[in-house]
Structure 1
Amino acid sequence: MDETRFHTLLHRPGTLVDVGAHDGLITIPLARLPGSRVIAFEPLPPAFARLQAALRGAFGTAPAHVDCRAAALGDSVGEIVLAMPVLDGVAQEQWASTAKDYAAHLSARVTVERFAVPVERLDDLGLADLTAMKVDAEGAEYEILRGARETLLRCRPVMTLEIEERHREGSTWAVPAYLDALGYEVLFELGGEWFPVAALDRATMQRASPDPSVFEASDPYVFVFYALPREDAPALLARLQGAA
């Protein structure tokens, strides 16, 4: 099940937050859900420009119910460095990260472009109607959730998170543990079946190179995780399983 289908199946009207919106692949379908207001965070300047253009192309104008923010999310407010590897002269935007600098992977093929970008805390927005959240932040997931703690406890949104050991060692342990403490069940889907994160075999399901010049990964490679509020998890999971 992909992230868009998950959010469509469990949609409730309200505010939806897209962290790491890039060029709108998920922002646009979220914005088309009935009764949705979307806040899209994208700190990488060229991707942010494409996000705005994609929204204008999809809706004919800049949609009033989508708030695009050229910022990263974290657990503090200020400025942070976003590092983007460049491989053989080609920007690897999907690897841009505030959590690592790629210094260990510099070579004749790999250089790094850095951007100073603003960083915000989700809790500072004071949201009262957050119903869903998607997080794709190349290793910065823990800080993002720390900065959203009060919002998560208050609003209980469903979430999708892309979490990879190659971007931050230990993240597939730390992020689910943090969510568990907030009363969330963290799951993954494989072959049409749903499993608790405790069933994740990192040696066979999360093996991938942290070097942007090396393209290798385990098969299967499980990196999308789904978080459901524990109090609603059985009913929500039944809906997901029924739609398979």
Structure 2
Amino acid sequence: MDETTFHRLLHRPGTLVDAGAHDGLITIPLARLPSSRVLAFEPLPAAAARLRAALADAFGALPPHVAIHQAALGDRTGEAMLAMPVLDGVRQEQWASTAKDYAAHRSGRVGIERFTVTLMRLDDFGITDLTAIKIDAEGAEYEILRGARETLLRCRPVLTIEIEERHRQGSTWSVPAYLDALGYDVMFELGGDWFPVCALDRATMQRASPDPAVFEASDPYVFVFYALPRENAAGLLARLRTAA
């Protein structure tokens, strides 16, 4: 199940957050959900510009129920350094990260562009109707969740999170553990079945090169995880299984 389908099936009216919106692949479907208000966070300047253009093209104008923040989310406010690898002269925007600098992978093929970006905490927005979050942050997932702790406890949204050991070693343990402490069940979907995160075999399901110049990954490669508030998890999971 892809992230868009997950959010569509479990949609409730309210505010939805897209952290790492890039150029709108998920922002636009979220904005089309009924009675939704979307907060999209994209720190990379070029991607944020394309996000604005894509939304205007999809809706005829920039929709008033979507707010674009050219910023990264984290556990503090201020500024952060965003590093983006450049492979053979081509910017690898999907690898841009505030959590690592790629210095270990600099080579004749791999260069690095750096940007100073605004850093924000989700808790500082004081949201009271948050129903869903999507996070794609190349290793910064833990900090984003730390900065959203009070909002998660107050609103109990559902979450989709891309977590990869290649971006941050130990993250497939630490991020689910943090969510567990907040009363969330974390799981993944594979072949139409749903599994708790404890069933993840990292040696066979999370093997991938951290080097932007090396395209190597396990098959299957499980990197999208789903988090459901424990008090509602059984019913929500039943809905997902029925839809499948």
Q: TM-score range by the shorter chain?
A: over 0.9
Partner of 1:131: 131
Residue 190 (1) aligns with residue 190 (2) = yes
Partner of 1:151: 151
| Deviation of the 1:190 alpha carbon | 0.1
Q: TM-score if structure 2 supplies the norm length? A: 1.00
CA shift digits 1:8-64 (9 cap, x unpaired)? 000000000000000000000000000000000000000000000000000000100
| Deviation of the 1:219 alpha carbon | 0.1
Structure 1's consecutive aligned runs of 4 or more residues displaced over 2 angstroms after TM superposition are none
Matches within 5 A, 1:72-151: 72-151=72-151
Amino acid in structure 1 at the alignment position of 2:216: E
| Deviation of the 1:107 alpha carbon | 0.2
Amino acid in structure 1 at the alignment position of 2:74: G
Q: For structure 1, which runs of at least 5 residues remain unmatched after alignment?
A: none
| Deviation of the 1:202 alpha carbon | 0.1
- Between the aligned partners of 1:97 and 1:221, the Cα distance in structure 2 is 20
| Deviation of the 1:104 alpha carbon | 0.2
Amino acid in structure 2 at the alignment position of 1:93: E
Q: TM-score if structure 1 supplies the norm length? A: 1.00
Matches within 5 A, 1:1-244: 1-244=1-244
- Between the aligned partners of 1:243 and 1:166, the Cα distance in structure 2 is 32
Count of equivalent residues:
244
Amino acid in structure 1 at the alignment position of 2:224: V
Q: For structure 2, which runs of at least 5 residues remain unmatched after alignment?
A: none
CA shift digits 1:201-240 (9 cap, x unpaired)? 0000000000000000000000000000000000000000
CA shift digits 1:85-121 (9 cap, x unpaired)? 0000000000000000000000000000000000000
| Deviation of the 1:198 alpha carbon | 0.1
Percent of paired sites with the same residue:
80
Residue 173 of structure 1 aligns to a residue whose secondary structure is helix
- Between the aligned partners of 1:143 and 1:71, the Cα distance in structure 2 is 14
| Deviation of the 1:161 alpha carbon | 0.1
- Between the aligned partners of 1:159 and 1:9, the Cα distance in structure 2 is 13
